Amino acid sequence: METGMRAPDFTLEDKDGKKVSLSDFSGRPVVLYFYPKDNTPGCTRQACAFASAYEEFKGLDAAVIGISRDSVSSHQRFAEKYSLPFILLSDPERQAIEAYGVWQEKKNYGKVTMGVVRTTFIIDEQGNIEKIMEKVKPDTNPAEVLEYLRSRA
């Protein structure tokens, strides 16, 4: 993936089983963040940080979408437990995860596995990738995204 490319469209189920496509958000910026797993420490901190800043994202007319391989029911529990106001999409088949190139080799305690590398994409109003933030830190990623969105306004 590179900036300036057309963002790959996808259709996945949200926490309520409703189908959501990237193209549904045409005409507004989209913050698309990929994360490894619901209810893990880093992913929970990142989701809660996005939730805390959600009103600011809304004020900038930006949609926030989180994607992981977790099931619809896992997303539902995760969203309820932490009062997450934004969209969580379930991608168990890795449709979007692979299209965006975030399914990669990871090293954990010397062991090499495949998994989702925490990455955030900012997609412009025309559906193009405007910015890619790789290997983001869960605690600071939402603030960095907001700072970027404010600078482009």
CB atoms closer than 10 angstroms to residue 93: 10
48 is catalytic: no
Which tens digit of pLDDT belongs to each residue from 130-142? 999 998 999 999 9
Residues 141, 46: Cα–Cα separation, whole Å: 7
Per DSSP, the residues of 60-115 read TT-EEEEEES--HHHHHHHHHHHT--SEEEE-TT-HHHHHTT-EEEEEETTEEEEE
The domains found in the chain, sorted by start residue, are 11-152 (3.40.30.10)
**What would the pLDDT profile of 77-121 be if each residue is shown by its tens digit?**
999 999 999 999 999 999 999 999 999 998 878 899 999 999 999
DSSP state of 22: G
From the candidates 12, 43, 47, 146, give the one annotated as an active-site residue: 43
DSSP state of 24: G
